[in-house]
Structure 1
Amino acid sequence: MSRIRIAIVEDDPDWLRGLTSYLGKEADFELVGQASSGQTGVELLERVEADVVLMDIMMSDSPDGIWAAAEIVQCTGAKVIMLTSMEDKELIFEAFKVGAVDYMVKTNFAEIPQAIRNAYANRSPIHPSVAEKMREEFRRLKHLEHEVRVKELRDLLTPTEVQVLDLIEKGHTQTQIADKFVVSIRTIKVHVGNILRKLGGKSSKEAAQKAKDMGIL
C-alpha cells in the first residue's frame, strides 16, 4: 500500500510534537519533513516531495502561512491544508484564494487524518464551521460590491437628477416636476434623458424604481 507523504509547517514545538506523534500512528502516512516558518517550509518542499502539506497560518505573529501556501501550491503538486487556532473569515478566504484545499481549526484535531486522506484523494469537503465563515465573507463582499456600485451610480447623477428621480418615484408627472422647479418641461425631459442614459431603463418610472431598489433614493 502506498503511503501518503506529509510535510508539516508549524512554529509551535509542542503542537508540532503532538501532531507528529499522532499522525505517526497512521499506517498509511509517511512524515517526510517539518519546518517552523513559511520560508523554511518553502525550502523544505524544494528538497522533498510531499503529497499533503499541513500549514500553520500564523507564524512569528504574522500570517506567514498564506504566503508559503501560495508558493508551495504554485511550485509543487502538493495539496495544502491550513491549520490554525483562529477562525478569521478574511484569513480563511485568503487561504482558499492562494490554493489551499482545506482549512481546519486545530481544536478539530481528531479530524485531521481524514482531512489528509480526503485531500490526497482530491475530495476535500470544507469543514462546516469554515464553510459558514466563508459564506459570511462572501456575503460581506457581495454587500461591499453593492455599496461600491451604488456609489458609482450616485456619483454619476447630479443633485438635480436625484431630485427628479425622487419625485418621479413618488408619482409626480414631468409637468408637475417642471412646475415645482419652475423650469420648462423641455428641461425636465433633458434631465430624464440623462438619467436614462446613466441608469438604463426604458422609462423614467423604471429608472426611478431601479434607483429606489439600489438604495440611491
Structure 2
Amino acid sequence: MTKIRVFLVEDDEDWRRGLSAYVTKEADMEVIGTAANAADARTLAPALNPNVILMDIMLVDSMEGIALTAEISALCEAKIIMLSSLTEKQVIFDAFKAGAVNYLVKSDFGAIPGAIREAYRESSPIDAQVAEQIREEFRRLKQLEQEYEAKKLKDLITPAEIQVLSMIDQGYTQTQIADKFVISIRTVKNHVSHILKKLPGRSSKEAAKKAKDMGLF
C-alpha cells in the first residue's frame, strides 16, 4: 500500500508528538518529518517532498504559519492543511489566500485523518463552519467594494445629475424633467450626456439603475 506522506509543522512539543502518533496510527499514512519552527519547515518540507502538510498557524506566538504556507506552496506540491484554535474570519481568509486547501480547528482532531485523505486525493471539501466564515468575509469585501465605488461616483456626479438620474429611474421623460426643474431641454440633455460619460451604459435608464443599485439615491 502506498502511504500518504505527511509532514507536521507545530511548535508545541506535546501537540507535535501527540499529532504524530495519532496520524501514524492510520494504516494509509506515515509522518515523514516534523518541524518546530519556520526555518526548519522551509528546509525540510521541500527536501522530504510530502504529500500533505499539517501547518500550525501560530508559531512562536505569531501567525507565521500563514506566510510560511505561501512560501512552501511555491517550493513544493504538497497540499497544506491549516491547524489552529483561531476562528476569526480574516485569519481563515488569509490562510486560503496563502494556498491552504483546508482549515481545521485543533479541537476537531477527529477530522484530521479524513482531511488528509481528501487533500491527498485533491478533493478537499472545506469544513462547513470555515466555508461560512469565508462566505461572510467575501460578503464583507463585496460591501466594502460597493461602498468604495459609490463614493467614487458621488465625487464625480453632481447633485443636479443625481436628481436627473432619480427622475429617470422614476420614469420621467426628459421633457418632464425640464418642466419640473424649470430648465431647458438642452440642459437636461447635457446632464444626461455628462452622466453617460461617468456611468457608462447603453441608455440613461441603465445609468439610473446602476446609480440606484449603488445607493446614490
- Judge same fold: TM > 0.5, yes or no: yes
Residues 156 and 198 in structure 1, CA contact (< 8 A), matched pair in contact too: yes
Query: Residue 209 and residue 52 in structure 1: after superposition, are their counterparts in 2 closer, same or farther (change >3 A)?
Result: closer
| Counterpart AA for 1:112 | I
Could you tell me which residue of structure 1 aligns to residue 40 of structure 2?
40
The C-alpha deviation readout for 1:170-194, integer Å capped at 9, x for no partner, is 5655455446655433222211211
Q: How does 1:15-164 map to 2 (within 5 A)?
A: 15-164=15-164
| Counterpart AA for 2:110 | A
**RMSD, matched Cα:** 2.1
Q: Percent identity?
A: 57
Query: Residue 205 and residue 120 in structure 1: after superposition, are their counterparts in 2 closer, same or farther (change >3 A)?
Result: closer
Superposition TM-score, scaled by structure 1 size: 0.89
| Counterpart AA for 1:34 | T
Query: Residue 30 and residue 206 in structure 1: after superposition, are their counterparts in 2 closer, same or farther (change >3 A)?
Result: closer
Give distance in 1, aligned partners of 2:47 and 2:171. Answer: 73
SS in 2 for 1:81: strand
SS in 2 for 1:122: coil
Query: Residue 202 and residue 120 in structure 1: after superposition, are their counterparts in 2 closer, same or farther (change >3 A)?
Result: closer
Query: Residue 121 and residue 168 in structure 1: after superposition, are their counterparts in 2 closer, same or farther (change >3 A)?
Result: closer
Superposition TM-score, scaled by structure 2 size: 0.89
The C-alpha deviation readout for 1:14-51, integer Å capped at 9, x for no partner, is 22122122112222222111112223211221332211
Consecutive unaligned residues of structure 2, counting only runs of 5 or more, are: none
Give distance in 1, aligned partners of 2:169 and 2:50. Answer: 63
Of 182-191 and 138-147, the range deviating more from structure 2:
182-191
Residues 39 and 68 in structure 1, CA contact (< 8 A), matched pair in contact too: no
The C-alpha deviation readout for 1:78-132, integer Å capped at 9, x for no partner, is 1111111111222222222222111111111011011111111212111111111
Give distance in 1, aligned partners of 2:24 and 2:206. Answer: 66
The C-alpha deviation readout for 1:63-91, integer Å capped at 9, x for no partner, is 21111111111111111111111112222
Give distance in 2, aligned partners of 1:14 and 1:193. Answer: 70
Consecutive unaligned residues of structure 1, counting only runs of 5 or more, are: none
SS in 1 for 2:2: coil
Query: Residue 79 and residue 188 in structure 1: after superposition, are their counterparts in 2 closer, same or farther (change >3 A)?
Result: same
| Counterpart AA for 1:20 | S
Query: Residue 109 and residue 170 in structure 1: after superposition, are their counterparts in 2 closer, same or farther (change >3 A)?
Result: same
* Count of aligned pairs between the two proteins: 217
